[in-house]
Amino acid sequence: MNIDFGPVTVEDCLINENVSHGHGGGLRLADVDKSQFVQCSLDDNNASGSGGGVYCWKSSPEITACTISENVTVGAGGGICCFTESNPTINQCNILSNTANNGGGIGNINSNPNITDCMITDNTANNPDGGGGLFSTGSSDPSIAISLLCSNDPVQIVGNWADEGGNTICCPGDATGDYVIDVDDVLYVLSAWDTDDPDADFDDNGVVNVDDILILLGHFGESCA
């Protein structure tokens, strides 16, 4: 679906199994403001450019209560690509199991989306520095609030972002909560040894022991955000 230069409101839609030889496998917005997409499903779409599910160029729609899943692109933004002054509001959305070179879930190039109350999980970036959940480059500085980012590969977030609070960002081995697994985490785990400290009990079995230190060492040196 291509939308150019005019606002639209779309509710309860299915945009599935489409292929684009350019940008926007499911939905492409160009120079469009004040559009709304509510309770839509964008699944199994493919783009040879960027934006497997959704591609925004100079567009800032409201995307609410949508599921964006299993979309693929060789560019940026498997689920959503925000390109060039695109600042969409993404609220109460599930963005899962999408794949891209950069930004498996959401890819941002010189754009600042506002992401609130979303689940961004199980997305993949093929570039090891690409950000499985969220990738931002250029002047991008997206804001994220009360959202979950977990099980994105190879890391949850790459690039700038503003933490507006209430987020859960899964980071195995990060006992100190700074999204970096380093010697401070080793020292924390050792200080919590044989207790039920939830910050150091990475396998959630009720006790901090050798299994937890092995999880930490398996991720040592990584950054999750």
Residues 98 and 136 grouped into a single domain: yes
Q: What is the side-by-side order of every strand in the sheet holding 143-145?
A: 9-11, 33-38, 60-64, 89-91, 114-116, 143-145, 162-163
Residues 106 and 179 grouped into a single domain: no
pLDDT band at 99 (very low <50, low <70, confident <90, very high): very high
CA dihedral 62, 68, 72, 75 (to 10 degrees): 30
**Residues 150/168, Cβ–Cβ less than 8 Å:** yes
Least confident piece of the model among 9-13, 27-31, 32-36, 138-142: 32-36
Residues 123 and 148 grouped into a single domain: yes
Residues 12 and 72 grouped into a single domain: yes
Residues 161 and 223 grouped into a single domain: no
Q: Note the Cα 192 to chain centre separation in Å.
A: 31
Determine the Cα–Cα distance for residues 70 and 183; give it in Å rounded to an integer. Answer: 37
**Residues 62/80, Cβ–Cβ less than 8 Å:** no
Per-residue pLDDT at 225: 76
Residues 114 and 193 grouped into a single domain: no
Per-residue pLDDT at 224: 81
- pLDDT score of 67 more than 70: yes
Residues 76 and 161 grouped into a single domain: yes
Determine the Cα–Cα distance for residues 89 and 63; give it in Å rounded to an integer. Answer: 6
Closest CA to 85 of 47, 31, 134: 31
Q: CATH number for the domain including 206?
A: 1.10.1330.10
Kindly report the CA angle at 116 between 112 and 120, in degrees rounded to 5?
90
Residues 183 and 163 grouped into a single domain: no
User: How many domains, in total, are found in the chain?
Assistant: 2
Residues 35 and 141 grouped into a single domain: yes
- pLDDT score of 43 more than 90: yes
Residues 213 and 117 grouped into a single domain: no
76 lies in which domain range?
Answer: 2-170
Q: Which residues pair with 108 in a beta bridge?
A: 82, 136
User: Stretch 12-17: mean pLDDT, rounded?
Assistant: 96
Residues 110 and 76 grouped into a single domain: yes
The fraction of the chain above a pLDDT of 70, given in percent, is 99
Tens digits of residue pLDDT in 118-147? 999 999 999 999 999 999 999 999 999 999
Mean pLDDT score across all residues of the chain: 94
Per-residue pLDDT at 5: 66
- pLDDT score of 52 more than 80: yes
Q: Note the Cα 137 to chain centre separation in Å.
A: 14
Percentages (nearest 5) of helix, strand, coil residues in the chain: 10, 40, 55
Residues 165 and 176 grouped into a single domain: no
Q: pTM for the full model? A: 0.89
